[in-house]
Amino acid sequence: MKFLTSIIVVSAALLSTLPASAGELTQKDFEKFAESRFGPPDGKARYWYGKGPVRDPQTGKTIYVFEYYDTVRHVVDPKNRNKRYGIVRKLDLFRDKDTNEVLETFNGNPVKQWTFPYQLLELEYKDGKVMLTVSQGAGEFLRTHKFPESSIDRYGDFVHVTFPGFFMTRRPEIPDEVSSHTMTSLFITCVKKCNSTPYQWNQSGVSPLAPWAGGDGKKLGYMSMSGARFEKYSQLPQELRQVIDKQYPEFREPAKDLDEVRALQR
């Protein structure tokens, strides 16, 4: 099951301080939205975490548990403050539904965790709309996905911004098959004092299962997970930090700037 997980299909809730037409974002909405996803543009890394089951949509039974992690740094385009970059380094891990251990095999099939040395998320604000562009990979495998549609719903002081994501991705495990999937994420920005983390999210998606999980290009799995943003690496769940510290120490922080990202894309 190959979800393009970068928290890319997004709903955000944030305080709108300026009036806007129906279906449009204000400049303040955009700035708050960018800071909720990427953190303030102060050079520091922030951390996103999520976890949830992947189920058989026919029976509702859990097949395995999907765990998401990314660390992100916010960069403002020096020539255009309406363009923001999120420099991301991320891991997608698969855990046993019963033991919670990171899977090495599943029903005798080897399981490979997904590692992304970088993802580049670009948000651009223009005429009340936000364009989201996601880039990943390198060389001939460099891929860019654009999400030009966004919608907005206002509930009192809060604004929910949604990027629907419908796209096709070819999976190398089954070269002749093409999978399509959609995801939805929810960010909640707490604008008053909170007793818990102010940035939370939910994500769901449906996609053909990976071959190691019994997928044949047609059998589907449904994912639903929730999580939050953390300001410090030490605040992440210990079970995740143990995996990163032991196996992926370079994933504690993202690339330091866009130049490093460009080098990783070559």
pLDDT in tens, the chain (266 residues): 454 555 544 444 444 444 555 557 788 888 888 998 899 999 999 999 999 999 998 899 999 999 999 999 999 999 999 999 999 999 999 999 999 999 999 999 999 999 999 999 999 998 888 888 999 999 999 998 888 877 777 776 566 677 666 555 555 555 555 455 555 555 555 555 555 566 777 777 788 888 899 887 778 888 888 888 999 999 999 999 999 999 999 999 999 999 999 999 99
Say if 77 falls within a structural domain: yes
Say if 2 falls within a structural domain: no
Range of the domain at 201: 10-265
Say if 49 falls within a structural domain: yes
d(CA 80, CA 255) in angstroms, rounded, equals 21
d(CA 108, CA 111) in angstroms, rounded, equals 9
How many domains in the chain? 1
pTM (two decimals): 0.85
- 3-state DSSP assignment of residue 178: strand
Say if 5 falls within a structural domain: no
Say if 251 falls within a structural domain: yes
CB-based contact 148:131 (threshold 8 Å): yes
